[in-house]
Amino acid sequence: MRESGGRGQGPGRGAGGAGSQGGPGAARRTPGGPGRTTRQSGGSGRGGPSGEGRPPSQEPPRRRRDPDDPLDLPFGPEAFGPAGDARGRSRGDDRPAGRRRPRDDDDAGPRRAPRDDERPRGRAAQGRDDDGRPRGRAPRDEADRLRGRVQGRDDDRGRTARPGGAGRPGPAGRTGSAAGSKAAGQPGGKARRPGDEEPRGRGQDGPLRRTPSGAPRGAAGAPPGGPRGAAGARQDAARDRDGAAARRTPHSGSRGASRGGDVPPPRGPRRPPPRPPLVLRLGNPRRRINIGLIGMTFVLSIFAGRLIQMQGLDAKVYEAAAAEQRVQTVAIPAKRGSITDVKGHYLAVTREARDLSIDPTKVPSGKRAEVASVLAQQLGKSEQEIAAKLARTDTRYQLLARGVDPFVATRLLQAKIPSLAAKKTYRRDYPAGDLAGSLIGFVGDDGTGLGGIEREKNELLAGRDGKMRVETGRDGQQIPMTSSEQTPPVDGRDVRLTIDRDIQWAAQKSIADQVKKSGADSGTVIVMDVQTAQIIAMANAPELDLNNWRKAPESSFVNKAASVVFEPGSTNKVITAAAALEAKVVTPDTVYRVPDRIKCADQVLRDAHSHKTEPMTFRQAMAQSSNVATVMAARKVGSERLHAMLKAFGFGSRPGGGVPGAEAGLLPDYKKWSGSQNCTVAYGQGVSVTALQMASVYQTIANGGVKIEPQIVAGTTDEHGRFVPAPPGKQTRVVSETTAKEITTMLESAVGEEGTGQLAAIDGYRVAGKTGTANRYDAELGRYDGYTASFAGFAPADKPRLVVLSVLQNPKNGHFGGQLAAPVFKDVMTFAIKSKKIPPTGSAVSPVRVGAGQ
């Protein structure tokens, strides 16, 4: 293996190791000597007495370099010298051996690298060797190899040297460094040849200086080759070691050797350097300022980013959100249309009003009792109710009253009650109170019709609300001078009914009195115009008070005249008579031998009163309301034709004309009739109708057999307020005019002296009508219980103008229709004739055959 020192290799080096090429540890070529000087131990030329060299037997053979070979680089053993010096001699070392440039930092401790302006000029000063290559640089492979050796030397530096100064074998396979022993004057150092100059390097204490006599001296002024004591050698070695450690550069591969400083001999395990004393360091203000600036920059960048997001990216979103909070849409209620009678009298009207509300949290607790007393007195409410609302401090809104009169609201606002607010609105008034209450219906708090005409014509009456977009503040008040968008409301249209207020009042009073007198559950009266089928009056008892509908029972919300279904009884016999006459199976003068009872299937049917079997004309049977004679005529007609006639008169179908709550009744298919039902249907048991349907039957007979759909609405107003009459009802011929006249004569006989409806007769007027008494089916009990008493007729009989129907449900004081319902008919018809100014015809009743023997 090669023993050249290389570039500062580890402890395996021989002569203390040299630094990098051209560095402080490189040996320099003397002007006259052919050989190369080796570094002395300690790097200061203070080795043995005469700088003893290596014995000749230990000097390796030297190879001559081929100058013609470009790859023959001076990195072999001959390039480093026999002592393993780093790079051989430098061109700048041809000055005398005893002379070198004095340095100011010889005794100043660690040296610094000379600046460019301080370095000597020439090839030696520029750091180039004899071959022209830069000193201190080696090929990449050689540099890696030398760096590994230096690292190995560093690793082995702490090991104990063998006696005699020989170290353990290093990475290069050489013996340990003998520099330390040479520095102490021990044999083993390489002898200096005559003519060789003293080695120079940065690893020494300093550049060699010449004495006044011209001999080179060390840094301390001693002759280079003079003997020195062991203590001096140790001091020099320690100084060289410190200087080499201080002069390390990033290019050096090891501690001291790369800079040319000699490594002292190993002295066993290295002791850790003493810890520096703890020094209390004050904070660096610049560092604090920098940290603060960084923090402020970070925070401000967050604010700036958020600002960009809000003002730039999401500007439209926040603008819309702000507008949504600030801009409010306020509904402008439309004025609801009025409901009037046929003469224009108001039955339901809309007036301006106020809704009063209060914020209970703004009312002082000490004044709540006083405020409650004032509000209760003005609003017509109980003081306890108002006090309970004022005590609700968990909410900021309490509605005190709706539809308050504007004068009352103004008076309360002037009383300066805390946080009292009034909102403009409309209220529905019913000037007539309970007049036609269930027919007209009522309006809820939200302005929607909940019953009667109010619900049936709600869309027409309600109109269309407007809206206004305004900007409001936190307190809900409109911000002045701000833009607003307004859509004007469209007021509702007026509805004119066919009801005559006066006749309605008379009918309602008469049936209410009779219900009270007879102890009936309820009663109904309908007055209808014969020629137009317009309903002049539709009264119910008990009737709904529209101004206090919240306190009324739900049963009074129903318009019983059009919705309550019942079995008509004998009033239905006119349909059987019409079917028999139309089928020509009988004539008014057809005589029957009529017993007081008849068997039908498994049932025995009886007349209303007992009598012996007697001959009876069909007209007489109708006048006396004989069930047996009617069954006998119905058997000739047949169930199918009877069913068809019932259907033609409107049974089993809902009446048209817009009457609210109208029901269809019940008409079973004739194929499903039971054995007894084939007989009972003839006199009005086993089918169900409403009062409106039965009144329509008599209107058809009185109108010459032409049925007209009942009408309740006379007309409406258009958008300009002009009245537009409703179209007439649909007309349908049910029976011939001859049949209608024959039935009229039969009905006129029923009101005569031999008839059951004598109490319905009106002085001066010819009246045609029919009583009805039927078993009442109670749906709650699921069986028949009580009776239904009714009377239907028209006047004048020879020229009919009005039809009146009266019905009492479940009367307790009597149950016959001629006894209870006929008087109601008479009272209402008499008033209606006078109100309509219908004069008597003046014609006398035509003589007809009533009895079989006449």
Catalytic residues: 570
In whole angstroms, give the CA distance from residue 418 to residue 310. Answer: 41
Q: Hey, how many other C-beta atoms are within 10 angstroms of the C-beta on 484?
A: 12
Q: What is the DSSP letter of 629?
A: H
In whole angstroms, give the CA distance from residue 806 to residue 537. Answer: 11
In whole angstroms, give the CA distance from residue 379 to residue 386. Answer: 10
Q: Hey, how many other C-beta atoms are within 10 angstroms of the C-beta on 517?
A: 14
| CB of 129 closer than 8 Å to CB of 18 | no
In whole angstroms, give the CA distance from residue 363 to residue 544. Answer: 39
- In 3D space, the residue among 78, 72, 73 whose CA is nearest the CA of residue 60 turns out to be 78
In whole angstroms, give the CA distance from residue 801 to residue 573. Answer: 22
Quote the tokens at residue 73.
Answer: 């680089």
596 CB-near residues (< 8 Å, 6+ apart): 606, 607, 609, 610, 611, 612, 613, 628
In whole angstroms, give the CA distance from residue 191 to residue 48. Answer: 9
- In 3D space, the residue among 788, 782, 843 whose CA is nearest the CA of residue 821 turns out to be 788
| CB of 803 closer than 8 Å to CB of 832 | no
Mapping DSSP onto H, E and C, the string for 684-735 reads CCCCEECHHHHHHHHHHHHCCCEEECCECEEEEECCCCCEEECCCCCEEECC
In whole angstroms, give the CA distance from residue 126 to residue 270. Answer: 38
Mapping DSSP onto H, E and C, the string for 760-794 reads HCECCECCEEEEEEEEEEECCCCEEEEEEEEEEEE
Q: What is the DSSP letter of 668?
A: -
808: Cα within 13 Å, side-chain hemisphere:
32
278 CB-near residues (< 8 Å, 6+ apart): none
Phi-psi label, residue 165: left if phi above 0, alpha if psi -120 to 50, beta otherwise: left
In whole angstroms, give the CA distance from residue 415 to residue 358. Answer: 14
> Distance of CA 135 to CAs 121, 349, 522, 854, Å?
14, 120, 134, 168
| CB of 15 closer than 8 Å to CB of 38 | yes
